[in-house]
Structure 1
Amino acid sequence: MPHLSVPGAELYYEADGPASAPCVLLIHAGCATLRMWDPLVPALAQDHYVVRFDTRGFGQTRTDDVKFSDRDDARDVLEHLGVTRATVVGASRGGRIALDLALESPETVTGVATVGSGPSGFPDTELTDEEDAAFDGLDDAYEDADWERMTRLETALWVVGPRRDESTLDPAFVETAYALNRPNIVHRAEAPVSVPLEPPAYDRVADLRMPVLATVGEFDLSFELASQAFLIDAVPGAEGYIFSDTAHLPSVEHPEEFNAVLTGWLAEHGL
């Protein structure tokens, strides 16, 4: 199992495809691990060097309770593999990390694709009643330190979505969704502290000059829908795409459509 030693952590990573090909760095969502990208890698790795890692607090990465930078971790993984430039694809918090990395190290990032993501510093938006009730349930589970219940509720909120009925969804997808978040239960009591980008990306995304693709699922939470609309409006030349009939993880629920959108955008921009 490949692990990279960095200050305060052992980062688990995987790399597929020819190392000489253009690199795509995949950063997972907070309700999953790097395994969420499994359906995409075989096709993407045919003509790209596909790199992914479990961020601190997730999957097979081990961390101490220390201050750290998500951007440093991403750069360390790329440097370890000899990659100097990469297109960064991030889902949820992974997209936030991708945008932060692009602003902090524009010489490293050739393009950014976000999935249900907003920039760091995005202002709070009003929740719907369903979203508010779901977050109350998450808060209760956190207060009780009931990590298993919290993880189940988190998956139901984000991946199923408050506007959908789980019983109407593909059972195989639902099973996969819960399985993707389950390995994170053992990390819930960990407390590494992520050092934020200053100033945050919200005030700076207009400075981005690389291609940006902002995507979201139509049944994602309201503030993720607002974040995607903001990115399209604020980033010069940004492109957008809304995946139908999915919530927070369209790459898992509709991998063929997601792969077609992503690879088409990569080809269009020579990435």
Structure 2
Amino acid sequence: MLVLIHAGFVDSRMWDGQWDTFTQHYRVLRFDMRGFGKSDPATGPVSRRHDLYVLLQELDIAHAHVLGCSMGGETAIDFTLEHPEMVLSLIVVSGTPGGFEMRGAPPSQLLEMLQALEQGDLDRVSELQIRLWVDGNFRQPEQVDSRVRQHAVEMNRLPVENGTWTIADANPLNPLNPPAVSRLGDIVVPALVMAGSLDNPEILRAADLLGNELKRAKKIIISDTAHVPNMEKPTEFNQIVLNFLSHL
């Protein structure tokens, strides 16, 4: 079983480019977290790792390879620490461990996005999220595949309208204590850490940290991609993941 956990600005459709390929080799589960896609809106703070546990229990899934992107990667790390007996391997894409402290000034898009959120300008919020996560720090929108951007826009609009991040994730329910960043050495399953070369430098620093601290980690940087390398270079991404899993 391979479980796919989406990033915190899109939904499970971000794995469209992986689905046909991965399902040829594994039973695959992808789902919309609360407040995203076809799931119910979030009504208060949630524990993403607990939601994942409940879902796997409901589906009678005892063991799985767990792959998460961005917030999904943080969820995957937390879940592995809390339920190590259920995780066969861990794949983190563009993710930071809980408790990871960003250095330097925050991206300008993030500050603008928070301001637009306060003003209720949801169109602007959505565009800035796409600029921040799909385009990245080093590209203009016209330098990114328009199909990738449009797909992300379609997924992003619902959580923006639902206020998912503010309601559910700004102050998550029952975060790991101590946080994952201080416990990475406790993770002993094989791990693959991936990031896009054009992502925020702090995401790349987090990838370095994960690659160094996870006991059995392999790190791969995918060139000319930002925060969702699986959407930008699906063929390369799929081959990397399948190659990793086939050697376990």
On whether the aligned pair clears a TM of 0.5, the verdict is yes
159, 177, 188: which one aligns with 1:209: 188
Structure with a larger share of its residues in strand: 1
- Which is richer in helix? 2
- Answer yes or no: is 1:196 the counterpart of 2:187: no
Could you list the runs of 5+ residues in structure 2 that have no partner in the other structure?
none
Q: TM-score, structure 2 length as denominator?
A: 0.93
The CA distance in 2 between the partners of 1:136 and 1:191, in whole Å, is 18
Taking a change above 3 Å as real, the CA distance of residues 173 and 207 of structure 1, as seen in their structure-2 partners, is: same
Using the alignment, how far apart are the partners of 1:115 and 1:158 within structure 2? 13
1:156-215: CA deviations, max 9, x gaps? 111111211221222222222322312323311662343211111000011111011110
Whole-angstrom distance in 2 between the partners of 1:101 and 1:61: 20
Alignment-derived partner of residue 228 in structure 2: 249
Moved more, 51-60 or 151-160: 51-60
Correspondence 1:151-170 to 2 at 5 A: 151-170=126-145
Name the residue aligned to 1:268: 247
SS at match of 2:97: coil
Match of 2:33 among 45, 49, 55: 55
**Aligned 1:100-119 pairs, distance under 5 A:** 100-119=78-97
Indicate the larger mover: 223-232 or 56-65.
56-65
Q: TM-score w.r.t. structure 1 length?
A: 0.86
Secondary structure of the 2:220 match is strand
Q: Match for 1:83: what amino acid?
A: I
> Which residue in the other structure is 1:233 paired with?
212
Question: Does structure 1 residue 121 correspond to structure 2 residue 99?
Answer: yes
- 2:51 is equivalent to residue 73 of structure 1: yes
Cα RMSD after superposing both structures: 1.5
Question: Partners of 1:67 and 1:182 in 2: how far apart?
Answer: 20
Equivalent residues, number: 244
| Residue identity (%) | 33
Q: Provide the residue aligned with 2:162 in structure 1.
A: 187
Contact 2:73–2:93 (CA under 8 A) maintained in structure 1: yes
SS of equivalent residue, structure 2 residue 102:
coil
> Against the structure 1 CA distance between its residues 171 and 63, is the aligned structure 2 distance closer, same or farther, given a 3 Å change threshold?
closer
Contact 1:147/1:188 (CA < 8 Å) preserved in 2?
Answer: no
